[in-house]
Structure 1
Amino acid sequence: MELLLWEVTLHWASVVLYVTAGVIFSIVTVFGKDRLYLWAVRISFAGLVPHSAAILIRWIASGHGPYMLRYEVLSSNAWVFIVMFLAFAAKVRKIRFAGMIVLPYAFLTMTYGLFSNPEIKRLPPSLQSIWLVLHVSFYKLAVGAILISVAAAIFYLVKERRGESGVLIRLPGLDALDHYSHRFATFGFTFWSIGIISGSIWAHQSWGRYWGWDPIETWSFITWLFYGFYLHMRFFFRWTDKKAAWLVIGCFLLSFTTAFVIPFVARSVHSSYFT
Protein backbone atom coordinates (compact mmCIF):
# COMPACT_ATOMS: atom_id res chain seq x y z
CA MET A 1 0.00 0.00 0.00
CA GLU A 2 2.79 2.43 0.89
CA LEU A 3 4.54 1.63 -2.40
CA LEU A 4 1.34 2.31 -4.33
CA LEU A 5 0.92 5.64 -2.53
CA TRP A 6 4.44 6.67 -3.54
CA GLU A 7 3.76 5.68 -7.12
CA VAL A 8 0.51 7.66 -7.33
CA THR A 9 2.14 10.69 -5.68
CA LEU A 10 5.00 10.64 -8.19
CA HIS A 11 2.51 10.38 -11.04
CA TRP A 12 0.56 13.42 -9.85
CA ALA A 13 3.79 15.39 -9.38
CA SER A 14 4.67 14.71 -13.01
CA VAL A 15 1.16 15.74 -14.14
CA VAL A 16 1.59 19.13 -12.45
CA LEU A 17 4.95 19.63 -14.16
CA TYR A 18 3.58 18.58 -17.56
CA VAL A 19 0.65 20.99 -17.23
CA THR A 20 3.10 23.78 -16.42
CA ALA A 21 5.30 22.87 -19.38
CA GLY A 22 2.28 22.71 -21.69
CA VAL A 23 1.21 26.21 -20.68
CA ILE A 24 4.72 27.53 -21.29
CA PHE A 25 4.93 25.81 -24.71
CA SER A 26 1.65 27.54 -25.59
CA ILE A 27 3.00 30.92 -24.47
CA VAL A 28 6.15 30.38 -26.53
CA THR A 29 4.14 29.51 -29.64
CA VAL A 30 1.38 32.11 -29.31
CA PHE A 31 3.33 35.07 -27.96
CA GLY A 32 6.77 34.32 -29.35
CA LYS A 33 8.45 34.28 -25.94
CA ASP A 34 11.44 32.30 -27.19
CA ARG A 35 13.42 32.83 -24.01
CA LEU A 36 10.85 30.65 -22.21
CA TYR A 37 11.35 27.71 -24.58
CA LEU A 38 14.24 26.25 -22.59
CA TRP A 39 12.17 26.52 -19.43
CA ALA A 40 9.38 24.53 -21.06
CA VAL A 41 11.88 21.85 -22.04
CA ARG A 42 13.50 21.81 -18.59
CA ILE A 43 10.15 21.49 -16.82
CA SER A 44 9.14 18.69 -19.22
CA PHE A 45 12.34 16.84 -18.36
CA ALA A 46 11.70 17.54 -14.68
CA GLY A 47 8.29 15.91 -15.11
CA LEU A 48 9.90 12.85 -16.65
CA VAL A 49 11.93 12.25 -13.48
CA PRO A 50 9.03 11.40 -11.10
CA HIS A 51 7.11 9.87 -14.01
CA SER A 52 9.98 7.50 -14.83
CA ALA A 53 10.41 6.67 -11.14
CA ALA A 54 6.70 5.82 -10.83
CA ILE A 55 6.82 3.53 -13.88
CA LEU A 56 9.98 1.86 -12.56
CA ILE A 57 8.43 1.29 -9.11
CA ARG A 58 5.44 -0.39 -10.70
CA TRP A 59 7.61 -2.40 -13.08
CA ILE A 60 9.66 -3.82 -10.19
CA ALA A 61 6.58 -4.50 -8.05
CA SER A 62 4.61 -6.22 -10.82
CA GLY A 63 7.51 -7.99 -12.51
CA HIS A 64 6.46 -6.82 -15.97
CA GLY A 65 6.42 -3.73 -18.15
CA PRO A 66 3.57 -1.18 -18.24
CA TYR A 67 1.24 -2.98 -20.64
CA MET A 68 -1.27 -4.85 -18.50
CA LEU A 69 -3.98 -2.46 -17.22
CA ARG A 70 -5.34 0.92 -18.29
CA TYR A 71 -3.60 2.67 -15.37
CA GLU A 72 -0.10 1.65 -16.44
CA VAL A 73 -0.80 1.56 -20.19
CA LEU A 74 -1.90 5.20 -20.30
CA SER A 75 0.91 6.33 -18.01
CA SER A 76 3.54 4.71 -20.23
CA ASN A 77 1.80 6.08 -23.33
CA ALA A 78 2.14 9.62 -21.98
CA TRP A 79 5.80 8.98 -21.14
CA VAL A 80 6.53 7.83 -24.69
CA PHE A 81 4.66 10.80 -26.24
CA ILE A 82 6.66 13.33 -24.24
CA VAL A 83 10.03 11.65 -24.75
CA MET A 84 9.41 11.40 -28.51
CA PHE A 85 8.40 15.03 -28.76
CA LEU A 86 11.38 16.28 -26.75
CA ALA A 87 13.79 14.09 -28.75
CA PHE A 88 12.52 15.31 -32.12
CA ALA A 89 12.19 18.93 -30.96
CA ALA A 90 15.84 18.84 -29.88
CA LYS A 91 16.81 17.80 -33.42
CA VAL A 92 14.28 19.95 -35.30
CA ARG A 93 13.58 23.14 -33.36
CA LYS A 94 10.79 24.15 -35.76
CA ILE A 95 8.44 21.43 -34.48
CA ARG A 96 8.32 22.88 -30.97
CA PHE A 97 4.84 24.20 -31.85
CA ALA A 98 3.64 20.59 -31.47
CA GLY A 99 4.13 20.94 -27.71
CA MET A 100 0.78 22.77 -27.64
CA ILE A 101 -0.87 19.50 -28.73
CA VAL A 102 1.44 16.78 -27.40
CA LEU A 103 1.78 17.99 -23.78
CA PRO A 104 -1.95 18.52 -23.15
CA TYR A 105 -2.80 15.20 -24.82
CA ALA A 106 -0.15 13.45 -22.74
CA PHE A 107 -1.19 14.83 -19.37
CA LEU A 108 -4.91 14.30 -20.12
CA THR A 109 -4.14 10.71 -21.08
CA MET A 110 -2.13 10.26 -17.92
CA THR A 111 -4.74 11.91 -15.69
CA TYR A 112 -7.45 9.66 -17.12
CA GLY A 113 -5.27 6.67 -16.31
CA LEU A 114 -4.73 7.87 -12.75
CA PHE A 115 -8.47 7.67 -12.10
CA SER A 116 -8.43 4.02 -13.16
CA ASN A 117 -7.83 0.98 -10.99
CA PRO A 118 -4.17 1.10 -9.82
CA GLU A 119 -4.01 -2.51 -8.66
CA ILE A 120 -1.00 -4.58 -9.67
CA LYS A 121 -1.56 -7.78 -11.64
CA ARG A 122 0.90 -10.48 -12.53
CA LEU A 123 1.48 -11.26 -16.17
CA PRO A 124 -0.27 -14.46 -17.35
CA PRO A 125 1.83 -16.98 -19.34
CA SER A 126 0.21 -16.02 -22.67
CA LEU A 127 1.59 -12.48 -22.30
CA GLN A 128 5.14 -13.45 -21.39
CA SER A 129 6.66 -12.93 -24.82
CA ILE A 130 9.16 -10.55 -26.40
CA TRP A 131 6.69 -10.20 -29.27
CA LEU A 132 4.16 -8.65 -26.90
CA VAL A 133 6.80 -6.16 -25.75
CA LEU A 134 7.56 -5.23 -29.37
CA HIS A 135 3.85 -5.12 -30.24
CA VAL A 136 3.01 -2.70 -27.44
CA SER A 137 6.18 -0.60 -27.77
CA PHE A 138 5.77 0.07 -31.48
CA TYR A 139 2.13 1.01 -31.09
CA LYS A 140 3.15 3.55 -28.45
CA LEU A 141 5.79 4.95 -30.81
CA ALA A 142 3.23 5.03 -33.62
CA VAL A 143 0.77 7.12 -31.62
CA GLY A 144 3.57 9.45 -30.48
CA ALA A 145 4.55 10.11 -34.10
CA ILE A 146 0.90 10.45 -35.14
CA LEU A 147 0.38 13.12 -32.45
CA ILE A 148 3.13 15.31 -33.92
CA SER A 149 1.74 14.68 -37.40
CA VAL A 150 -1.79 15.71 -36.46
CA ALA A 151 -0.48 18.79 -34.60
CA ALA A 152 1.21 19.94 -37.81
CA ALA A 153 -1.97 19.20 -39.79
CA ILE A 154 -4.14 21.23 -37.39
CA PHE A 155 -1.80 24.21 -37.48
CA TYR A 156 -1.61 23.90 -41.28
CA LEU A 157 -5.40 24.25 -41.56
CA VAL A 158 -5.50 27.16 -39.12
CA LYS A 159 -2.69 29.01 -40.89
CA GLU A 160 -4.06 28.25 -44.37
CA ARG A 161 -7.40 29.74 -43.35
CA ARG A 162 -6.15 32.79 -41.46
CA GLY A 163 -2.88 33.48 -43.28
CA GLU A 164 0.19 35.04 -41.70
CA SER A 165 -1.79 37.32 -39.42
CA GLY A 166 -1.17 37.76 -35.72
CA VAL A 167 0.46 34.95 -33.80
CA LEU A 168 0.33 32.58 -36.80
CA ILE A 169 3.34 34.32 -38.32
CA ARG A 170 5.43 32.62 -35.63
CA LEU A 171 4.50 29.16 -36.88
CA PRO A 172 6.52 27.43 -39.62
CA GLY A 173 5.33 28.10 -43.18
CA LEU A 174 2.61 26.03 -44.84
CA ASP A 175 5.12 23.95 -46.79
CA ALA A 176 7.05 23.15 -43.61
CA LEU A 177 3.89 22.21 -41.69
CA ASP A 178 2.79 19.97 -44.55
CA HIS A 179 6.26 18.39 -44.64
CA TYR A 180 6.29 17.65 -40.90
CA SER A 181 2.76 16.27 -41.00
CA HIS A 182 3.73 13.92 -43.83
CA ARG A 183 7.07 12.93 -42.30
CA PHE A 184 5.64 11.99 -38.91
CA ALA A 185 2.63 10.26 -40.46
CA THR A 186 5.16 8.11 -42.33
CA PHE A 187 6.92 7.31 -39.05
CA GLY A 188 3.56 6.49 -37.48
CA PHE A 189 2.57 4.21 -40.36
CA THR A 190 5.90 2.38 -40.15
CA PHE A 191 5.64 1.87 -36.39
CA TRP A 192 1.98 0.84 -36.71
CA SER A 193 2.96 -1.75 -39.34
CA ILE A 194 5.61 -3.24 -37.05
CA GLY A 195 3.06 -3.27 -34.23
CA ILE A 196 0.63 -5.29 -36.37
CA ILE A 197 3.31 -7.73 -37.53
CA SER A 198 4.75 -8.34 -34.05
CA GLY A 199 1.22 -8.69 -32.65
CA SER A 200 0.41 -11.32 -35.27
CA ILE A 201 3.52 -13.31 -34.39
CA TRP A 202 2.65 -13.05 -30.68
CA ALA A 203 -0.93 -14.23 -31.39
CA HIS A 204 0.37 -17.23 -33.31
CA GLN A 205 2.81 -18.02 -30.52
CA SER A 206 0.11 -17.78 -27.83
CA TRP A 207 -3.06 -19.02 -29.55
CA GLY A 208 -1.90 -20.75 -32.71
CA ARG A 209 -3.26 -18.14 -35.13
CA TYR A 210 -1.82 -15.03 -36.75
CA TRP A 211 -5.13 -13.24 -37.12
CA GLY A 212 -8.50 -13.75 -35.46
CA TRP A 213 -10.53 -10.70 -36.57
CA ASP A 214 -10.74 -9.52 -32.99
CA PRO A 215 -12.44 -6.05 -32.97
CA ILE A 216 -9.19 -4.30 -32.01
CA GLU A 217 -7.27 -6.22 -34.67
CA THR A 218 -9.88 -5.27 -37.26
CA TRP A 219 -9.92 -1.58 -36.38
CA SER A 220 -6.15 -1.48 -36.17
CA PHE A 221 -6.04 -2.90 -39.70
CA ILE A 222 -8.61 -0.34 -40.91
CA THR A 223 -6.49 2.45 -39.41
CA TRP A 224 -3.41 1.03 -41.14
CA LEU A 225 -5.30 0.96 -44.47
CA PHE A 226 -6.32 4.61 -44.10
CA TYR A 227 -2.76 5.69 -43.35
CA GLY A 228 -1.63 3.62 -46.32
CA PHE A 229 -4.24 5.42 -48.45
CA TYR A 230 -2.95 8.78 -47.22
CA LEU A 231 0.65 7.91 -48.12
CA HIS A 232 -0.47 6.49 -51.47
CA MET A 233 -2.29 9.72 -52.34
CA ARG A 234 0.72 11.77 -51.26
CA PHE A 235 3.18 9.77 -53.33
CA PHE A 236 1.22 9.04 -56.50
CA PHE A 237 -1.25 11.92 -56.70
CA ARG A 238 0.79 14.62 -54.95
CA TRP A 239 -1.87 15.34 -52.37
CA THR A 240 -0.67 18.14 -50.13
CA ASP A 241 -2.58 21.20 -48.87
CA LYS A 242 -5.93 20.88 -47.09
CA LYS A 243 -6.91 17.47 -48.44
CA ALA A 244 -3.82 15.87 -46.92
CA ALA A 245 -4.24 17.72 -43.61
CA TRP A 246 -7.86 16.64 -43.22
CA LEU A 247 -6.94 13.06 -44.10
CA VAL A 248 -4.24 13.06 -41.40
CA ILE A 249 -6.78 14.29 -38.85
CA GLY A 250 -9.23 11.60 -39.98
CA CYS A 251 -6.55 8.93 -39.60
CA PHE A 252 -5.76 10.19 -36.10
CA LEU A 253 -9.43 9.98 -35.12
CA LEU A 254 -9.47 6.40 -36.40
CA SER A 255 -6.41 5.52 -34.33
CA PHE A 256 -8.01 7.18 -31.29
CA THR A 257 -11.19 5.16 -31.86
CA THR A 258 -9.16 1.97 -32.13
CA ALA A 259 -7.33 2.58 -28.86
CA PHE A 260 -9.94 4.26 -26.65
CA VAL A 261 -13.43 3.51 -27.98
CA ILE A 262 -13.53 -0.01 -29.39
CA PRO A 263 -12.20 -1.67 -26.18
CA PHE A 264 -15.23 -0.30 -24.31
CA VAL A 265 -17.95 -1.13 -26.86
CA ALA A 266 -16.82 -4.50 -28.22
CA ARG A 267 -15.71 -7.72 -26.58
CA SER A 268 -12.04 -8.15 -27.31
CA VAL A 269 -8.99 -9.98 -26.02
CA HIS A 270 -7.47 -6.49 -25.74
CA SER A 271 -10.23 -5.07 -23.53
CA SER A 272 -8.59 -6.26 -20.31
CA TYR A 273 -5.68 -3.89 -20.98
CA PHE A 274 -8.05 -0.91 -20.77
CA THR A 275 -9.98 -1.78 -17.62
Structure 2
Amino acid sequence: MLTEFALYSDRLFMAAVGVYVLAMVLHGAEYAVQRSAKGVLVGAGGPAVETDAPPPDAPPRDGSGPGRAERYGRMGVSLVVLGAVLQAASIVLRGLAAQRWPLGNMYEFTSAICLAAVVAWLVVLRRSPASRPMGLFVLLPVVILLFLGGTVLYAPAAPVMPALQSYWLVVHVTTVSIASGLLMVPGVASLLFLLRRSGKLEGFAERLPSADALDRLAYRITIIAFPLYTFAIMAGAIWAEAAWGRFWGWDPKETVAFVAWVIYAAYLHARATAGWRSGPAAWVNVAGFAAVIFNLFFINMVVSGLHSYAGLG
Protein backbone atom coordinates (compact mmCIF):
# COMPACT_ATOMS: atom_id res chain seq x y z
CA MET A 1 0.00 0.00 0.00
CA LEU A 2 2.78 2.44 0.87
CA THR A 3 4.51 1.69 -2.42
CA GLU A 4 1.27 2.43 -4.27
CA PHE A 5 0.87 5.72 -2.42
CA ALA A 6 4.39 6.71 -3.46
CA LEU A 7 3.71 5.73 -7.08
CA TYR A 8 0.45 7.67 -7.25
CA SER A 9 2.12 10.65 -5.58
CA ASP A 10 4.82 10.75 -8.26
CA ARG A 11 2.27 10.41 -11.03
CA LEU A 12 0.11 13.19 -9.62
CA PHE A 13 3.21 15.38 -9.35
CA MET A 14 4.04 14.80 -13.02
CA ALA A 15 0.41 15.41 -13.97
CA ALA A 16 0.41 18.70 -12.07
CA VAL A 17 3.54 19.84 -13.89
CA GLY A 18 1.94 18.95 -17.23
CA VAL A 19 -1.22 20.86 -16.34
CA TYR A 20 0.78 23.93 -15.30
CA VAL A 21 2.63 23.83 -18.63
CA LEU A 22 -0.70 23.73 -20.49
CA ALA A 23 -1.92 26.64 -18.35
CA MET A 24 1.22 28.57 -19.34
CA VAL A 25 0.49 27.91 -23.00
CA LEU A 26 -3.07 29.21 -22.63
CA HIS A 27 -1.95 32.30 -20.73
CA GLY A 28 0.65 32.85 -23.44
CA ALA A 29 -2.06 32.56 -26.09
CA GLU A 30 -4.22 35.04 -24.16
CA TYR A 31 -1.30 37.45 -24.00
CA ALA A 32 -0.51 37.07 -27.71
CA VAL A 33 -4.12 37.53 -28.80
CA GLN A 34 -4.49 40.68 -26.71
CA ARG A 35 -1.32 42.14 -28.22
CA SER A 36 -2.36 41.25 -31.77
CA ALA A 37 -5.79 42.78 -31.17
CA LYS A 38 -4.20 46.07 -30.24
CA GLY A 39 -1.92 45.82 -33.25
CA VAL A 40 -4.95 45.47 -35.53
CA LEU A 41 -6.61 48.59 -34.19
CA VAL A 42 -3.56 50.82 -33.80
CA GLY A 43 -0.77 51.15 -36.33
CA ALA A 44 2.82 51.17 -35.13
CA GLY A 45 3.21 54.78 -33.98
CA GLY A 46 0.31 55.87 -36.19
CA PRO A 47 -3.36 56.78 -35.86
CA ALA A 48 -6.13 54.32 -35.22
CA VAL A 49 -7.04 52.19 -38.22
CA GLU A 50 -10.65 52.01 -39.30
CA THR A 51 -11.85 48.43 -39.64
CA ASP A 52 -15.16 46.59 -39.56
CA ALA A 53 -13.59 43.42 -38.21
CA PRO A 54 -13.72 42.99 -34.40
CA PRO A 55 -10.42 42.48 -32.61
CA PRO A 56 -9.57 38.87 -31.68
CA ASP A 57 -10.24 39.48 -27.97
CA ALA A 58 -13.54 41.30 -28.45
CA PRO A 59 -16.83 39.61 -27.51
CA PRO A 60 -18.73 38.14 -30.45
CA ARG A 61 -21.16 40.58 -32.03
CA ASP A 62 -24.07 38.26 -31.31
CA GLY A 63 -23.26 38.39 -27.60
CA SER A 64 -22.81 34.62 -27.46
CA GLY A 65 -19.80 34.65 -25.14
CA PRO A 66 -16.36 36.04 -24.34
CA GLY A 67 -13.69 36.66 -26.92
CA ARG A 68 -10.74 34.42 -27.62
CA ALA A 69 -8.37 36.07 -25.17
CA GLU A 70 -10.94 35.89 -22.40
CA ARG A 71 -11.59 32.21 -23.10
CA TYR A 72 -7.89 31.40 -23.14
CA GLY A 73 -7.41 33.26 -19.86
CA ARG A 74 -10.29 31.52 -18.13
CA MET A 75 -9.17 28.13 -19.35
CA GLY A 76 -5.66 28.88 -18.12
CA VAL A 77 -6.92 29.78 -14.65
CA SER A 78 -9.08 26.64 -14.55
CA LEU A 79 -6.02 24.54 -15.36
CA VAL A 80 -4.03 26.27 -12.62
CA VAL A 81 -6.76 25.31 -10.13
CA LEU A 82 -6.66 21.72 -11.41
CA GLY A 83 -2.87 21.65 -11.16
CA ALA A 84 -3.01 22.92 -7.56
CA VAL A 85 -5.47 20.17 -6.63
CA LEU A 86 -3.30 17.50 -8.25
CA GLN A 87 -0.18 18.85 -6.56
CA ALA A 88 -1.85 19.01 -3.14
CA ALA A 89 -3.00 15.39 -3.57
CA SER A 90 0.56 14.44 -4.54
CA ILE A 91 1.92 15.99 -1.34
CA VAL A 92 -0.69 14.23 0.82
CA LEU A 93 0.03 10.84 -0.74
CA ARG A 94 3.75 11.46 -0.33
CA GLY A 95 3.22 11.92 3.39
CA LEU A 96 1.14 8.72 3.59
CA ALA A 97 3.78 6.79 1.66
CA ALA A 98 6.64 8.01 3.85
CA GLN A 99 4.51 7.92 7.04
CA ARG A 100 5.73 11.37 8.08
CA TRP A 101 5.18 15.06 7.39
CA PRO A 102 5.94 15.41 3.64
CA LEU A 103 8.69 18.03 3.95
CA GLY A 104 11.77 15.91 4.54
CA ASN A 105 13.92 16.64 1.48
CA MET A 106 14.48 19.16 -1.28
CA TYR A 107 12.02 17.50 -3.66
CA GLU A 108 9.18 17.79 -1.16
CA PHE A 109 10.24 21.25 0.00
CA THR A 110 10.30 22.59 -3.56
CA SER A 111 6.88 21.12 -4.29
CA ALA A 112 5.43 22.77 -1.17
CA ILE A 113 6.93 26.16 -2.07
CA CYS A 114 5.47 26.01 -5.58
CA LEU A 115 2.04 24.99 -4.28
CA ALA A 116 2.09 27.94 -1.87
CA ALA A 117 3.00 30.26 -4.76
CA VAL A 118 0.18 28.89 -6.95
CA VAL A 119 -2.41 29.18 -4.17
CA ALA A 120 -1.25 32.73 -3.45
CA TRP A 121 -1.61 33.56 -7.14
CA LEU A 122 -5.15 32.14 -7.24
CA VAL A 123 -6.10 34.26 -4.22
CA VAL A 124 -4.69 37.33 -6.01
CA LEU A 125 -6.79 36.50 -9.07
CA ARG A 126 -9.87 36.10 -6.92
CA ARG A 127 -9.41 39.58 -5.50
CA SER A 128 -8.01 41.22 -8.64
CA PRO A 129 -9.04 39.49 -11.90
CA ALA A 130 -7.32 42.27 -13.88
CA SER A 131 -3.97 40.79 -12.79
CA ARG A 132 -4.51 37.70 -14.95
CA PRO A 133 -2.03 38.75 -17.70
CA MET A 134 0.69 38.10 -15.08
CA GLY A 135 -0.22 34.41 -15.06
CA LEU A 136 2.34 33.43 -17.69
CA PHE A 137 5.16 35.05 -15.71
CA VAL A 138 4.07 33.66 -12.32
CA LEU A 139 3.83 30.11 -13.67
CA LEU A 140 7.22 30.23 -15.40
CA PRO A 141 9.35 30.00 -12.20
CA VAL A 142 6.88 27.51 -10.75
CA VAL A 143 7.29 25.16 -13.71
CA ILE A 144 11.08 25.56 -13.68
CA LEU A 145 11.30 24.78 -9.96
CA LEU A 146 8.96 21.80 -10.27
CA PHE A 147 10.97 20.44 -13.20
CA LEU A 148 14.16 20.68 -11.12
CA GLY A 149 12.36 19.15 -8.16
CA GLY A 150 11.10 16.20 -10.17
CA THR A 151 14.46 15.51 -11.82
CA VAL A 152 17.62 16.80 -10.14
CA LEU A 153 16.18 16.99 -6.61
CA TYR A 154 13.93 13.93 -6.65
CA ALA A 155 14.22 11.51 -3.73
CA PRO A 156 12.18 8.35 -3.10
CA ALA A 157 9.64 8.39 -0.29
CA ALA A 158 11.38 7.26 2.90
CA PRO A 159 11.51 8.06 6.62
CA VAL A 160 13.73 10.92 7.73
CA MET A 161 16.75 10.51 9.96
CA PRO A 162 16.24 10.73 13.75
CA ALA A 163 17.53 14.33 13.95
CA LEU A 164 14.56 15.45 11.86
CA GLN A 165 11.91 13.45 13.69
CA SER A 166 10.60 16.45 15.58
CA TYR A 167 7.38 18.43 15.63
CA TRP A 168 9.54 21.45 14.77
CA LEU A 169 9.86 19.93 11.30
CA VAL A 170 6.14 20.59 10.89
CA VAL A 171 6.27 24.10 12.38
CA HIS A 172 9.53 25.47 10.95
CA VAL A 173 9.67 23.90 7.51
CA THR A 174 5.97 24.32 6.76
CA THR A 175 6.08 27.99 7.68
CA VAL A 176 9.22 28.71 5.68
CA SER A 177 7.71 26.84 2.69
CA ILE A 178 4.55 28.94 2.76
CA ALA A 179 6.49 32.18 3.25
CA SER A 180 8.92 31.38 0.42
CA GLY A 181 6.05 30.50 -1.92
CA LEU A 182 4.22 33.72 -1.08
CA LEU A 183 7.37 35.76 -1.70
CA MET A 184 7.67 34.30 -5.19
CA VAL A 185 4.61 36.24 -6.39
CA PRO A 186 5.79 39.73 -5.26
CA GLY A 187 9.24 38.91 -6.64
CA VAL A 188 7.71 38.38 -10.07
CA ALA A 189 5.46 41.43 -9.64
CA SER A 190 8.43 43.67 -8.80
CA LEU A 191 10.36 42.41 -11.83
CA LEU A 192 7.38 43.17 -14.07
CA PHE A 193 6.98 46.55 -12.37
CA LEU A 194 10.57 47.45 -13.21
CA LEU A 195 10.03 46.31 -16.80
CA ARG A 196 6.81 48.31 -17.08
CA ARG A 197 8.36 51.42 -15.53
CA SER A 198 11.51 51.33 -17.63
CA GLY A 199 9.60 51.82 -20.86
CA LYS A 200 11.70 49.13 -22.53
CA LEU A 201 9.92 46.40 -24.48
CA GLU A 202 6.85 48.61 -24.31
CA GLY A 203 4.95 46.55 -26.84
CA PHE A 204 5.63 43.39 -24.85
CA ALA A 205 4.67 44.86 -21.47
CA GLU A 206 1.63 46.87 -22.52
CA ARG A 207 -0.87 44.11 -21.61
CA LEU A 208 0.44 43.81 -18.06
CA PRO A 209 -1.30 45.58 -15.18
CA SER A 210 -0.19 49.16 -14.63
CA ALA A 211 3.08 49.84 -12.82
CA ASP A 212 1.18 51.13 -9.79
CA ALA A 213 -0.97 47.99 -9.64
CA LEU A 214 2.10 45.75 -9.82
CA ASP A 215 3.82 47.76 -7.10
CA ARG A 216 0.79 47.55 -4.79
CA LEU A 217 0.47 43.82 -5.41
CA ALA A 218 4.11 43.20 -4.49
CA TYR A 219 3.81 45.27 -1.32
CA ARG A 220 0.55 43.72 -0.09
CA ILE A 221 1.76 40.15 -0.42
CA THR A 222 5.14 40.93 1.11
CA ILE A 223 3.59 42.42 4.24
CA ILE A 224 1.73 39.11 4.70
CA ALA A 225 4.71 36.88 3.91
CA PHE A 226 7.29 38.80 5.96
CA PRO A 227 5.79 37.99 9.40
CA LEU A 228 5.55 34.33 8.37
CA TYR A 229 9.18 34.36 7.28
CA THR A 230 10.13 36.01 10.57
CA PHE A 231 8.29 33.33 12.55
CA ALA A 232 9.95 30.61 10.47
CA ILE A 233 13.41 31.94 11.37
CA MET A 234 12.46 32.12 15.06
CA ALA A 235 11.07 28.57 14.99
CA GLY A 236 14.25 27.37 13.29
CA ALA A 237 16.33 28.97 16.05
CA ILE A 238 14.30 27.21 18.74
CA TRP A 239 14.68 23.89 16.91
CA ALA A 240 18.42 24.50 16.55
CA GLU A 241 18.73 24.99 20.31
CA ALA A 242 16.95 21.69 20.92
CA ALA A 243 18.94 19.79 18.26
CA TRP A 244 22.40 21.39 18.42
CA GLY A 245 22.47 23.15 21.78
CA ARG A 246 22.50 26.72 20.43
CA PHE A 247 19.90 29.09 19.00
CA TRP A 248 22.17 30.59 16.35
CA GLY A 249 25.56 29.51 15.03
CA TRP A 250 25.93 31.48 11.77
CA ASP A 251 25.60 28.30 9.74
CA PRO A 252 25.58 29.23 6.00
CA LYS A 253 21.84 28.62 5.68
CA GLU A 254 21.09 30.57 8.84
CA THR A 255 23.26 33.42 7.64
CA VAL A 256 21.63 33.71 4.21
CA ALA A 257 18.16 33.39 5.74
CA PHE A 258 19.02 36.31 8.03
CA VAL A 259 20.37 38.31 5.07
CA ALA A 260 17.11 37.71 3.18
CA TRP A 261 15.14 38.80 6.26
CA VAL A 262 17.16 42.03 6.47
CA ILE A 263 16.58 42.71 2.76
CA TYR A 264 12.82 42.29 3.09
CA ALA A 265 12.79 44.48 6.21
CA ALA A 266 14.67 47.08 4.16
CA TYR A 267 12.11 46.73 1.36
CA LEU A 268 9.19 47.39 3.70
CA HIS A 269 11.04 50.38 5.14
CA ALA A 270 11.94 51.66 1.66
CA ARG A 271 8.36 51.22 0.50
CA ALA A 272 7.28 53.70 3.19
CA THR A 273 10.12 56.16 2.52
CA ALA A 274 9.75 59.08 0.14
CA GLY A 275 12.09 58.79 -2.83
CA TRP A 276 12.40 55.00 -2.44
CA ARG A 277 8.76 54.06 -2.76
CA SER A 278 8.80 53.04 -6.41
CA GLY A 279 11.84 51.91 -8.40
CA PRO A 280 14.50 51.59 -5.65
CA ALA A 281 12.14 49.66 -3.35
CA ALA A 282 11.26 47.24 -6.17
CA TRP A 283 14.95 46.51 -6.72
CA VAL A 284 15.29 45.72 -3.01
CA ASN A 285 12.32 43.35 -3.23
CA VAL A 286 13.88 41.56 -6.20
CA ALA A 287 17.14 41.23 -4.25
CA GLY A 288 15.23 39.64 -1.36
CA PHE A 289 13.61 37.12 -3.67
CA ALA A 290 17.00 36.32 -5.21
CA ALA A 291 18.38 35.71 -1.69
CA VAL A 292 15.54 33.29 -0.92
CA ILE A 293 16.15 31.31 -4.12
CA PHE A 294 19.92 31.36 -3.50
CA ASN A 295 19.34 29.98 -0.01
CA LEU A 296 16.99 27.32 -1.31
CA PHE A 297 19.28 25.89 -3.97
CA PHE A 298 22.90 27.01 -3.75
CA ILE A 299 23.24 26.80 0.02
CA ASN A 300 21.40 23.48 0.25
CA MET A 301 23.17 21.83 -2.65
CA VAL A 302 26.67 23.34 -2.79
CA VAL A 303 27.71 24.81 0.56
CA SER A 304 28.48 22.41 3.39
CA GLY A 305 26.81 23.18 6.70
CA LEU A 306 24.63 21.78 9.47
CA HIS A 307 21.58 21.93 7.20
CA SER A 308 23.25 20.10 4.33
CA TYR A 309 22.42 16.60 5.51
CA ALA A 310 18.72 17.41 5.59
CA GLY A 311 18.33 19.17 2.27
CA LEU A 312 15.77 21.31 4.05
CA GLY A 313 14.83 24.94 4.25
User: TM-score, normalised to structure 2's length?
Assistant: 0.80
* Deviation readout 1:176-218 (Å, 9 max, x if unpaired): 1111122222223222111101111222233332112111001
Listed as ranges, the matches of 1:220-239 within 5 Å are 220-239=257-276
Amino acid at match of 2:112: S
Q: 1:271 deviation in Å? A: 1.8
Work out which of the residue numbers 25, 28, 31 in structure 1 matches 2:30. 28
Greater share of residues in helix: 1
The residue that corresponds to 1:5 in the other structure is 7
Instruction: List gaps (5 residues or longer) in structure 1.
Output: none
Letter of the 1:77 partner, please give it.
Answer: I
Q: Aligned runs of 1:152-171 on 2, under 5 Å? A: 152-162=189-199, 165-166=202-203, 168-171=205-208
Q: After alignment, is 71-80 or 121-130 more displaced?
A: 121-130
Correspondence for 2:284 among 247, 250, 267 = 247
Aligned equivalent of 2:74 = 38
| Partner in structure 2 of residue 136 of structure 1 | 173
For residues 262 and 164 of structure 1, do their structure 2 counterparts lie closer, same or farther at Cα, with a shift above 3 Å needed?
A: closer
Map of 1:97 onto structure 2: 133
Bigger CA drift: 23-32 or 209-218?
Answer: 23-32
Task: Compute the displacement of 1:274 (Å).
Answer: 3.0
Structure 1 residues 100, 272: CA separation in 2 closer, same or farther (over 3 Å shift)?
A: farther
Question: In structure 2, the residue corresponding to 1:170 is in which secondary structure?
Answer: coil
Aligned counterparts of 1:251 and 1:160: Cα–Cα separation in 2: 20
Is 2:66 aligned against 1:66?
A: no
Contact 1:153–1:249 (CA under 8 A) maintained in structure 2? yes
Q: Is the Cα contact below 8 Å between 1:101 and 1:147 reproduced in 2? A: no
The number of residue pairs the alignment matches comes to 275
Q: What does residue 82 of structure 1 align with?
A: 118
2:157 is aligned to 120
User: What whole-Å deviation, never above 9, does each CA across 1:216-239 have from its counterpart, x for those lacking one?
Assistant: 001100111111112122223451
Are the equivalent residues in 2 in contact too, given 1:10–1:54 (CA < 8 A)? Answer: yes
Is the Cα–Cα contact under 8 Å of residues 116 and 182 in structure 2 kept in the other structure? no
| 2:110 corresponds to 1:110 | no
Structure 1 residues 114, 165: closer, same or farther in 2, change over 3 A? Answer: closer
Partners of 1:60 and 1:219 in 2: CA distance: 32
Higher mean displacement: 49-58 or 17-26: 49-58
**For residues 228 and 155 of structure 1, what CA distance do their matches in structure 2 show?**
21
RMSD, aligned α-carbons: 2.2
Aligned partner of 2:47 in structure 1 is: none
C-alpha separation in 2, matches of 1:261 and 1:238: 34
Range with bigger deviation, 63-72 or 12-21: 63-72
- TM norm structure 1: 0.90
Structure 2, unaligned runs of 5 or more: 35-68
> Would you say the 8 A contact 1:78–1:109 is kept in 2?
yes
Q: Percent identity?
A: 30
